[in-house]
Structure 1
Amino acid sequence: MIYCEPELKEHIINLHIQDGRTYQSLSDEFGFSTDVIRRWVKKYRQNAKEDAERAKQIADMEELRLLQKEVEELRKENDFLKKAYE
């Protein structure tokens, strides 16, 4: 069994769920295998089904990630339009 400080494990899980980081990029950065990280995320999501507060937290993190992605796309479109009208 792989040991990881609970705070670090939660940080890695949050990076995947909230920021959309891939298992591979997290593996490269933190040195845990992609399979280990995948299991942590899967277990976290399973536990969230039994904990309403954690389920809401996951939903909020995923929504934040989508909104951040949308903002980035809108900024790119805005920059494109600014250049088109210069």
Structure 2
Amino acid sequence: MNQKYEPELKKEVIRLYLEEGRTVKSLTDEYNLGNGTLRYWLKHTHKECDEQTEETDAELQRLRKQNAELRKENDFLKKAAAFFAKEID
């Protein structure tokens, strides 16, 4: 039987499983879910998290590289400012 569930219900049941440590059996019984429904949701949730983690890691790597370049530029500008300050005196 292919039944549609509200996204809010999915989120709440997954939250109860992940954060409160409820068992699949207790949640399936309490929310009257079909066999394997919660396991299917959890499987897809893990895949989505893995994809987001990969994207986040790539963005983090890009930002670290950009940060290093900006630090080098900032250090150069500090040295240049010190040099020109000496020239003025």
Equivalence map 1:1-40=2 (5 Å) = 1-40=2-41
Q: Which runs of 4+ in 1 moved over 2 A?
A: none
Q: Which has the larger radius of gyration?
A: 2
Cα deviation digits, residues 7-35 of structure 1 (max 9, x gap): 11010011111111111000111000341
Alignment size in residue pairs: 53
Q: Residue type matched to 1:16 in 2?
A: Y
Give the structure-1-normalised TM-score.
0.56
Q: Distance in 2 between matches of 1:15 and 1:6?
A: 14
Structure 1 residue runs of 5 or longer lacking an equivalent are 56-86
Native 8 Å contact 1:23 1:34 kept in 2: no
Q: Distance in 2 between matches of 1:29 and 1:11?
A: 12
Q: Distance in 2 between matches of 1:33 and 1:22?
A: 15
- How big is the alpha-carbon RMSD for the aligned residues of Structure 1 and Structure 2? 1.7
Between the two proteins, what is the percent identity of the paired residues?
34
Cα deviation digits, residues 2-61 of structure 1 (max 9, x gap): 210001101001111111111100011100034111110110111111113xx9xxxxxx
For 2:9, what is the secondary structure of its paired residue? Answer: helix
